[in-house]
A and B are shown apart, each in its own frame.
Chain A
Amino acid sequence: MKVTYFPGCTLRTKAKELDRYAHAACNALGVELVEPDTWQCCGGVFSYAKDEIASKLPSVRALIDARDKNEPLVTVCSACHNVIKQTNHQIKTDADFAFRMNNYLAQEKDAPAPYNGETKVLHLLELIRDEIGFDKVAEKVQKPLTGKKIAAYYGCLLLRPSKTMQMDDPENPKIIEDLIRVLGGEPVIYPARNECCGGYIALEDAESAKKRSNSISDSAAAHGADMIITACPLCRYNLIKNGSKLPVVYFTELLAEALGVKEDNDGE
C-alpha cells in the first residue's frame, strides 16, 4: 500500500524518533509512506475563525497532492492530523470557505484543479485500525511487549472535536489501547488520558502547563502504568519538561519495537 505522508515540521527536528519509527513500522507492515515533493508546516493549531484562509493553505496543498495521486493523506503527529483533518472538513462543509480557498489557489502558478475535500485524511493509528487491520499487525509482532503496563495518552488533538475527527469515542477512546493489546502489552485505563497537557500555554503560563501535565502523568502513575505513550511531540515535551515520573515515548517507537524493527533503526 502506498500513501501520501505528511510528516510535519517537528518530526524533522525535535521529534525525529516519531518519524523514524513510523517509517520503520510501516515498512514492516508493507506500507510505503511517500512525502509530497514539497510541504509546509501545518501551523500547529487550527484556526477557528471562519475568515482565516491563508494559514490553512499548507494543509490544502498537501490534501491536493494526495488527491492528485488518489491516495489517503497520512499523518503521525496529532497536531498535523488535527489541523489537516479540520481544514478538510471545513472545505467540505463550508461552501464559502471552499470558494474563497479555491479562488486563492487559482491565483497560484500551476494552479491545481479546485479542491472540495475529496482526500481521505488518516492518522497512522486509523490507517492501522481501518486499512491495515489489527489482525494483520498481530501477525507481524516479533517481540511482544509482554508485561508492559502502558498508559495511552490521547490529549485533545486526536479526539476533539469528535464530529470532525471521527477517530474514536472522545470520552472513552480505545484505539491506542487496542493497539497496545495487539502488541502484547497491557493497556492502563486512566481518566486523564483525554485531558489537555496544556499545549501552547507552556510558552504563556508555564505554571498552568505544569499543573495540567502533572495531573496527567500522576493519574497514569496512580493507575499503575510503567510508561506513557503519545502521538504528539508537544504533549511529550510538556509531560517530560514538567517532571513526569514515567517515561514518555512515541507510540511509533513501541510499534517498531514490537514489530522487531526498532534496533535496526536506532541511532540512524
Chain B
Amino acid sequence: MTSRRRRPNRWRNERQIRAGTVLLAAVLAIALPGPWLAPHDPNALIGAPYGPPGAGAWLGYDYLGRDIWSRLLAGGLSIFWMSIAASILALAAGAAIGMLSAYRKGAVDQGVVWSTDVLFAFPDLILVLLVVSMLGRAPWLIVLLVAIAFLPGVIRLSRGVTLGIVEQEYVDSARMMGFSSAHILLREVLPNMITPLLVQFGVMLTWAIGMLSGLSFLGYGVAPPAADWGLMINENRAGLLVQPWAVLAPVAMIALFALGTNLIAEGIGRINARIEEEA
C-alpha cells in the first residue's frame, strides 16, 4: 500500500504549547513577583565589584558590586510589559489601518501600500536609535518606536487578509443590504481576522523582546540605575570574562522568555489554522 502517513502533528502542537507555557511560566515566576522576592535591594552596593558567586549572592556581584540575583529578579518586569505593550499597539494600529485601506481600495489603499514600502525600506533600528538619542530614553517612547517598527508588517498582513475576506459573498451581501462600512468592518471582517492576527502577535512579541533587549544592549534602552535585563548585559559586558554570570544570567532569561512566547504562538497558530480548514 502506498504513501502511508505517520501520526498527524496534532499532538506535536499540544506538546509545543505545553513546553512554551512551562518556559514562560518559569520566566514570569522570576520576572513578575521578582521585585518583591529579591533578597537584597537591586541597587544596594553590597559586594565587591565583579565579586564571584558566594554566600551572600549565589550568582555573585556585578560591576558595581550589586547582587546579580536581586537585579535579575527586579529586571524582568520592564522588558515584559514593554514588549507586550509594543506588540498590542502595533497590532491594533496595524490591523485598523490595513483593514480600512483594503476595504476602501482606491487612492487611500495605494497611499498606505506605498508608505508601508517606505517604512519597510527604512532600516527600523536607525529610526529607533535616532529618535531615542533625540528624545531620551522614556519607556513609553521606546514602546512607541518599537511598535512603529512593527507597523508595516502588521499592515501588510491585515491588508492581505482583509482583501481575501472582502471578496467573500457574505461581505457583498452585507453591502447590498446597505449595512454601514463600520458595521461590515467590525462584525464581518474583524472577527475573521482574529486568527492570523493572533499568530502575528505571538511572532511580534518575540521580535519585540529581541529588539528591546538589543536596544538596551546598545545602550539606548531603559536608563540606569533601573534593573533591566538588557541594561545588565550592556553594563557588565566589559567584564564578560571576569564575571560571566553578570551577562549570562540576563541573556539566558531573555532567551527563555523569547523561546516560551514563540513556542506558544507557533502552537496556537497551527491549531487555529487547522480549525480554520475544518470550518
Same assembly: no
